[in-house]
């Protein structure tokens, strides 16, 4: 009993040899849905092994904090507010009403009677009448003043900046809400994965590509909106899936899901008054840009790079696969040739819609529910005799005669033309 007591009072560490701990089993989880290996993989950056039952998230690629996409959204909203400030519907409507005396058929009186939407609450930010702008926004003349895309001003007046400014403008509240929600859902995910520099470059160049194709096919229309840039992001997601094919687990499921989303969005473009050529141009530009900007290194190269103490197993892995480099070169050549050809044709005043008899179906398919008449261009031919003003809308062919008290008032003529063409 005394010997047993003395043994008990001694420290346990002096009598026992500690057992060597067994390595814990790790379950590797690749970042992103359906991406990465299915089994254990080397840990990126080293670090202590997790305890039994813990999950270690394997992140071979850097995660970025998304700030550029929210900044783009804020810029679009700020420009829309600025557009409504310049539009100033109540002031322009009052100037037009003061200049109109009477009219043949009473059309001028009806035009003057149109009130601005939410004028008591919004003041000068009030929207144009719903009949004139069903998207709840400004006039086409204001959008053109702010930098909307019109082929004539780009080709004849050399206002190339409109190819860029038009992607930051929107025709109404409904238009900007739909585009900005889509940008947040698509753009933030891509910026987290690839960073602000790649996504910002892809967004702007895709938007210019959409504007370029729209200018070649929609010669007689005014175009605004970020839809071309948004479709560029969708196109880049498809090319990113193709060029990084080996790092996806559920390849076919991811491909089919993405293709269905793209087809549904392109199908919406066949509705009337939707510029589907901007969608197609942005999508094609983003698709080829994805091969250039969104290429990932292969996992074998990353595993060797992050191995402990620089010990590599097997032969050194190349950073990119051969098919990735081939796709990059082909896409870059197609992009450069396509943009150069488009700019040259636009400078020469080329009208692609006259050279392709069926291409208009890509933007609008007529049905029993709607026709595909071109959207009003809001340009009128005018002739004046005394106080009588004759206006003919170029896009619809409508002709009306007005009696105005101030024949030299440009605001009156502009609003009468907008009413005639709407």
The active-site residue, picked from 227, 239, 363, 422, is: 227
The yes-or-no answer on residue 223 being catalytic is no
Comparing CA positions, the residue from 175, 250, 246, 235 lying closest to residue 205 is: 235
The active-site residue, picked from 114, 170, 175, 279, is: 279
Three-state SS sequence of 362-390 = HCCCCCCCCCCCCCCCCCEEEEEECCEEE
Q: Output the six-digit token pair for 283.
A: 């999508």
Q: What 3-state class would DSSP assign to 304?
A: helix
**How far out from the chain centre does Cα 24 lie?**
46
Long-range contacts of 331-338 (CB under 8 A, 24+ apart): 331/239, 331/288, 331/289, 331/290, 331/291, 331/292, 332/288, 332/291, 332/292, 334/288, 335/285, 335/288, 335/289, 335/292, 338/209, 338/284, 338/285, 338/288
Phi/psi of residue 35, nearest 5 degrees: -120, 145
Residues contacting residue 36 through CB under 8 Å, at least 6 positions apart: 28, 29, 30, 58, 60, 247, 249, 299
The yes-or-no answer on residue 227 being catalytic is yes
Cβ atoms 221, 374 nearer than 8 A: yes
- CA-CA-CA-CA dihedral for 282, 286, 289, 290, to nearest 10: 180
- The residues carrying an active-site annotation are 227, 279
């Amino acid at each position: 009993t005394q010997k047993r007591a003395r043994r008990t009072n001694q420290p346990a560490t002096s009598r026992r040899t500690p057992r060597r701990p067994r390595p814990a089993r790790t379950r590797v989880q690749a970042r992103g849905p359906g991406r990465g290996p299915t089994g254990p993989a080397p840990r990126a950056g080293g670090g202590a092994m997790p305890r039994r039952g813990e999950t270690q998230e394997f992140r071979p690629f850097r995660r970025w904090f998304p700030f550029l996409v929210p900044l783009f959204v804020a810029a679009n909203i700020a420009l829309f507010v600025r557009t409504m400030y310049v539009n100033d519907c109540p002031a322009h409507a009052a100037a037009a009403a003061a200049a109109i005396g009477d009219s043949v058929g009473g059309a001028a009186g009806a035009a003057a009677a149109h009130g601005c939407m939410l004028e008591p609450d919004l003041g000068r930010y009030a929207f144009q009448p719903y009949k004139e702008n069903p998207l709840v926004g400004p006039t086409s003349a204001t959008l053109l003043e702010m930098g909307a895309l019109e082929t004539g001003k780009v080709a004849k007046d050399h206002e190339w900046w409109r190819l860029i400014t038009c992607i930051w403008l929107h025709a109404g509240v409904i238009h900007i809400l739909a585009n900005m929600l889509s940008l947040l859902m698509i753009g933030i995910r891509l910026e987290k994965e690839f960073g602000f520099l790649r996504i910002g470059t892809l967004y702007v160049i895709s938007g210019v590509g959409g504007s370029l194709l729209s200018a070649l096919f929609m010669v007689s229309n005014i175009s605004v909106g970020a839809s071309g840039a948004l479709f560029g992001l969708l196109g880049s997601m498809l090319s990113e899936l193709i060029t990084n094919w080996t790092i996806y687990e559920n390849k076919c499921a991811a491909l089919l899901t993405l293709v269905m989303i793209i087809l549904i969005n392109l199908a919406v473009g066949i509705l009337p008054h939707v510029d589907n050529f901007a969608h197609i141009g942005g999508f094609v530009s983003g698709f080829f840009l994805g091969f250039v900007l969104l290429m990932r290194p292969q996992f074998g190269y990353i595993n060797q790079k992050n191995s402990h103490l620089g010990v590599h197993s097997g032969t050194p892995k190349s950073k990119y696969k051969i098919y990735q480099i081939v796709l990059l070169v082909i896409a870059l050549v197609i992009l450069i040739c396509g943009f150069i050809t488009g700019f040259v044709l636009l400078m020469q005043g080329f009208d692609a819609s006259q050279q392709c008899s069926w291409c208009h179906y890509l933007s609008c398919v007529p049905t029993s529910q709607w026709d595909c008449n071109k959207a009003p261009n809001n340009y009128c031919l005018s002739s004046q005799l005394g106080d009588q003003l004759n206006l003919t809308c170029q896009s619809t062919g409508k002709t009306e005669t007005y009696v105005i008290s101030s024949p030299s008032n440009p605001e009156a003529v502009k609003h009468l033309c907008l009413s005639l063409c709407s």
